[in-house]
Amino acid sequence: MTTQRRRGAELEQAILSAVLEQVTRHGYANTTYEGVAAAAGTGKAVLYRRWPTKAEMIFAAFTAHQQIEDLFTADTGSLAGDLQVTLRRGRDLIEERRGVVLGVLADIDPRGTDWTRTLFTARIHGVLDAILAQARARGELGDSPLPPRVLALPLTLLRHDVLVFGHVTDAAIDDMIETCILPSFINASRA
């Protein structure tokens, strides 16, 4: 009896599930193409064609299995409140997966690639676009688009503090919002 080869979405799902299982079982550093291929019932070449680096493969698995934007949708009635909810959820997610985040960051090619830009920009837009639209509708922000560096500020500050200090308190998040993020967002949106 022959087994029918999986292709397309079915194979992709099997691979991404295998990646998550391997990372959970072995940690980032000990997750290998060989282990993922064996767990998914496919060959290493299939993995390398899709993701030339382990960091890309693992990032793809985590983002495919978790709609980040859905986790962070908040409408508290104020920009500060929405940012509070979003950054606290983000802190919890980064703290929970600190080893994976450190591994992915360590493996990023410093020359930059399209997936690196996606990692740090497209996901930020997905999370913040709804929050910013709500703030604009309430009159808390002006109509000017936020420059990419300003838009990246919440995740940049949060990622730095979680990865460097290990834990970020609610009070530290509130301080980030009040002293850095809100003033930058307000000023840039009214430029």
| CATH value at residue 25 | 1.10.10.60
Is the same domain home to 34 and 94?
Answer: no
Domain count, the chain: 2
pLDDT score of 110 more than 80: no
pLDDT confidence tier of residue 1, bands split at 50, 70 and 90: very low
pLDDT of residue 90: 86
Q: Is 58 a domain residue?
A: no
Give 10-36 pLDDT, tens digit per residue: 888 899 999 999 998 999 999 999 999
Is the same domain home to 100 and 183?
Answer: yes
Query: What angle do helix axes 8-26 and 33-40 make, rounded to 10 degrees?
Result: 130
Q: Which of 55-59, 79-83, 170-174 has the lowest mean pLDDT?
A: 55-59
Is the same domain home to 118 and 169?
Answer: yes
Q: Is 61 a domain residue?
A: no
Is the same domain home to 35 and 115?
Answer: no
State if pTM tops 0.85. Answer: no
73, amino acid identity = T
pLDDT of residue 97: 81
Query: Domain of 22?
Result: 8-53
Q: Is 139 a domain residue?
A: yes
Q: Mean pLDDT throughout 140-163?
A: 92
